[in-house]
Amino acid sequence: MVYLPLANIWHHKLRSLLCALGVGISICMLVALTGLARGSLFENADRWESVGADLIVFPRGWADKIANRGVGLSEKYAKLLREKHGDLVERAAGVFCWPMKVAGQDHVVAGVAPEQWDMISGGKAIKEGRLFDPENRFAKWLDDRLLSPATDDRAVEITEADLRDPEHDGLELVIDTRLAAAAGLGVGDTLHAANHDWTIVGLAPTGVMTRIFMPLRTAQFLFGDGDVTKCTMILVKLRDGVDAGPAARTLRDALKLDVIPPKAYRVTLQEHFSIMLNYVDMVNIIALIIAFLFVMNTLYTMVLERKREIAILRSCGASGWFILRQVLGESMILAAAGVVIGVAMSFGASALIGRLKPLLTPELSFHWMLIAAGAAVLGAILSALYPAWRATRINMAEVLVYE
Ligand X SMILES: Nc1ncnc2c1ncn2[C@@H]1O[C@H](COP(=O)(O)OP(=O)(O)O)[C@@H](O)[C@H]1O
| Helices 320-356 and 366-392, packing angle to 10 deg | 150
* 399 close to 308: Cβ distance less than 8 angstroms: yes
In 232-246, which positions are buried (b, 16+ CB within 10 angstroms) versus exposed (e)? bbbbbbbeeebebee
Number of residues in contact with other proteins under rule CB under 8 A:
23
Query: What is the closest distance, in whole angstroms, from the C-beta atom of residue 315 to other proteins in the complex?
Result: 6
Lay out the site mask for other proteins across 140-159 (x = CB under 8 A, - = otherwise): --------------------
* 32 close to 350: Cβ distance less than 8 angstroms: yes
Tell me whether residue 344 or residue 397 sits nearer to other proteins (CB atom). 397
Is 403 among the residues that bind ligand X (CB under 6 A)? no
Candidates 179, 398, 399, 403; binder of ligand X (CB under 6 A) is: 398
Is 10 among the residues that bind other proteins (CB under 8 A)? yes
Tell me whether residue 320 or residue 374 sits nearer to other proteins (CB atom). 320
* 176 close to 203: Cβ distance less than 8 angstroms: yes
Query: What is the closest distance, in whole angstroms, from the C-beta atom of residue 397 to ligand X in the complex?
Result: 6
Instruction: Please state the φ and ψ torsions of residue 235, each to the nearest 5 degrees.
Output: -90, 135
DSSP 171: -
- 295 to 7, 18, 291, 383, 396: CA distances (angstroms): 18, 10, 6, 7, 26
Is 402 among the residues that bind ligand X (CB under 6 A)? yes
Tell me whether residue 243 or residue 398 sits nearer to ligand X (CB atom). 398
How many residues are there in the chain?
403
User: In the chain, what is the greatest distance between 2 CA atoms, to the nearest angstrom?
Assistant: 111
- Residue 136 C-beta-side C-alpha neighbours within 13 Å: 13
Tell me whether residue 20 or residue 323 sits nearer to other proteins (CB atom). 323
Residue 322: which of ligand X, other proteins, none does it interact with, CB under 5 to 8 A by kind? other proteins
Judged by CB under 8 A, the chain residues 301 through 330 that form the site for other proteins are 308-309, 311-319, 322
Query: What is the closest distance, in whole angstroms, from the C-beta atom of residue 398 to ligand X in the complex?
Result: 5
Tell me whether residue 315 or residue 319 sits nearer to ligand X (CB atom). 315
Stretch that binds ligand X, among 252-260, 327-335, 342-350, 394-402 (CB under 6 A): 394-402
Instruction: Please state the φ and ψ torsions of residue 185, each to the nearest 5 degrees.
Output: -110, 150
| Binding residues vs ligand X (CB under 6 A) | 398, 401-402
| Binding residues vs other proteins (CB under 8 A) | 1-2, 4, 7-8, 10-11, 308-309, 311-319, 322, 396-397, 400-401
